[in-house]
Chain A
Amino acid sequence: MRGATHAKWAAGAVIVALAATACGGGGSGGGGGADGIVSSSWGDPQNPLEPANTNEVQGGKVLDMLMRGLKRYDPKTGEAKNMLAASIDTSDSENFKVTLKDGWTFSNGEKVTAKSFVDAWNYGANLKNNQKNASMFAYIDGFDQIHPKSGSPSTDTMSGLKVVDDKTFTVKLNQKFSTWPDTLGYPAFAPLPRAFFDNHAAWLSKPVGNGPYTVDSYTKGSKLSMRKWAGYMGEDKAQNGGIDLKVYTDNNTAYTDLTAGNLDLVDDVPASQLKNVKADLGDRYINTPAGIIQTLAFPYYDAAWNTPNAAKVRKGISRAINRQQITDTIFQKTRTPATDWTSPVLGEAGGYKAGLCGDGCDYNPAEAKKLIADGGGIPGGQLKISYNADTGSHKEWVDAVCNSINNALGNDRACVGGPVGTFADFRSQITQSKMSGPFRAGWQMDYPLIQNFLQPLYYTGASSNDGKWTNADFDKLVDQANAETDKAKAVSTFQQAEGVVRDQMAAIPLWYQNGSAGYSTRISNVSLNPFSVPVYDQIKVS
């Protein structure tokens, strides 16, 4: 019977298919809830978990648990405090001598020595290794040879780094940079064990570090289990048994799991839930300043924006924006109206100065209208604020800013939003200097220094000076501040430079962004550090 044979063929094929899928199984035991273990929401890190290759917050969370460098930023104040460094000395702001503390080891038993740092930094800077944070090492002498502008590196080591003995090494910078030691809390400066270099693939699938936690298991794309390391030398020992980082592709889903009791900590409360968060979580919702400022940048390569009168127009636009109303209604107070160009997390001593912007950031529609008219009106007759429409729900606030401007000017067509489909396209248009009007600019600090909020953004030719703004006075003041060995003086010189930014209204400051998080009744003592990363080691499980 032919039909029967055919049926056998088909059935056989189906069985093969089923068997193939069954083989893929082999589930691991799941779920949090074990003693002292905190489950936390996570996103798949974009890059491999190498310290010098991690430039976003998800990978940063892991490194913050796994690695400790010379310095660490205090989770509360943001101050750079010695961690592995016993001392970092300099007499000329250019040559530094680093001495390490005794007794630190990696969790695999290997000692943390001067070589662990020098090897790691050379690896991070080397062009061959394609590390995204390579530019962090650009101040070290010899960077141009290991990371040349064109061609291949001519060396594998930077000449500015010299190992003296097991516990000492020296660093020679290629310019004066008095606050350089304070940048060393950035994860890219972490030491690396030999295992990283000897068996790179194995290290990546189960990273080994010297921090308060060790990696217990890592299933890429779904879950990373960190466990407390008993042999940890530092004072910030983990106060819980471990952290399970669970990957969520959508922060709404994570929030659902938090409210259903399947997750202990969500460090990114979705915008759509901000209205309910008080009712859902009560005081288990935290909303604290993070080192992020949002601004509107302008294209100074466009002649129309690069005139003395245009500064008046920019100031007028700034005064036409009702920041308070927008942060209250659209952001539900997860943003704070900005009154300078830095961030409150720096603290007064670090250079944050509330009100530095002066009346330029005060909402006053009548004055705004006058200023813009004085300045000759908006170039081109219409303001178009560009933003990327794919992530971050920027449309809402851009439209609100435009409404605010339109109301102030009494003209429905004065300002419109200019969405760009994807982030990649948005960035391309910015780097190719194709912007014709203001565009969304966000800056997340690398390290809590006022220098980091000014130099990369407004210095002539700086890496993130997307609007190509240039001002000789500003550049001079920044150079002065960097050469200043006295920290307080350096900060006040930077603030003078910030005054130049204000007078020219180089960019319109909008608001400081907060970090938000919600947590379950199981855990307590939850806080966010200035980088809006949860301070995992301090979390207590009840």
Chain B
Amino acid sequence: MNFAEKTINALADLYQKNSCTQKEVLESLATAVKSKDRDSRQIHAYIAPETAQPRHRKADKSSKLWGIPIAVKDNICVEREEITCASKILKGFISPYNATVIDKLLDAGAVIYGRTNMDEFAFGSSCETSTYGPTRNPRDPECVPGGSSGGSAASVADHTAVASLGSDTGGSIRQPAAFCGVVGMKPTYGRVSRYGLIAFASSLDQIGPITKDVRDSASLLSVIAGYDPKDSTSADIPVPDYTALLGKSIKGFKIGIPKEYVEGIDNPELRKKLVEEPKKIFESLGASVETVSLPHTRYAVSVYYIVAPSEASSNLERFDGVRFGYREAGASTLLDLYEKSRGTGFGAEAKRRIILGTYSLSSGYYDAYYLKAMKVRTKIKQDFDQAFKKVDLLLTPTAPGGAFKLGEKSKNPLEMYLSDIYTISANLAGVPALSIPGGLIGEKKMPLGLQLVGKPFDEATLYQAAYAFEQATDFHRQLGNVK
């Protein structure tokens, strides 16, 4: 039996009934990872699966996540574990400390098992920029799993993980969750501590769960969320039990569909599956669905590709070959050491973003690019404030379509950037957003993701609505996430 096929909640039940032991679970997980991750499909969701070691801490069996193995993206620090952001520049780096989310998971009895692959430094939407090679989509290995948390989503979809953690800066949890047919939550900015998450763009990054169904997502977020004195940007707001409202009726919910998100969807099948059918389902559940406007949506990608690379260019300055990580051999001057170590240590996409960000912040361009982008960001945030005066949550596609083929967009960075068009705004505005399986498309029945966007710190409403939709549609079962 492969216990990695279970959901968090199913596994917790088995433990409760003493139907399995932690040892059995971990052994079956290790077997699943080792046999499936590198089989002929070459899914490659994990980095170095052969060396994965379970990490846990003494915890009471009644703890929320007792014995639940969680896979972790390669940009979240685990003490005494190698962590590399899938970059050559960090190969061999051993973190001397735990990220706050890791401490919270261990305290809740969870077992940390396995590092999942990602786009280098989370720069990408396809998981193709990893220094370890690409991850493939378990639904169709010809396709990308999405990115940057591609390994985290693929492992859950492939039943080599019960659940995982990803990070989301512009859609990096939601888009791969959509492509792999699983559930991915980007919490409100400030909901989950960023301490120990290797920063991409500090004002946008959030850690979040990737799971097989909505209930698991709610369970996992309940554990990792909360104020952290080590993160000045974490909010000192109590964490509710996100599972409390699951199963409650959503009758009377007001749902908005932003017209700017859907007016450009020309493909009738996509339009039907991503807009019309979900609308009908929510209406059948008693919610009212109306069209709303987020007028500055069209600028979101531009704002994002100034703000995110600018912050990234600065966040990545610490990778200089001086104290840790990769250093080019034989550099005889300091300048040489910096330029060669960074020039060789970073991959092409990382370099591209560093250049873009350095340029946006450089003297003479700051006002036209960075400052302007931060002001337009305010407009984008105000759009959400306005919309949420009218509706409780927003319903949009997660991505313009299903998973694309490996190599399809990697030659054209701009086209790749545009695949995040629906997810970016939530990061800019700091609001929570959740992707759930919303439909299946094509012969191979590839998953399509549906995104629910909520008011700040109102993850509970998103889960309530998402759970109602999940129960009504059953896509999670059709995809085999829950058997």
Task: Please determine whether chains A and B interact with each other in the same assembly.
Answer: no
Q: Name B's A-contacting residues (CB within 8 A).
A: none
Q: Name A's B-contacting residues (CB within 8 A).
A: none
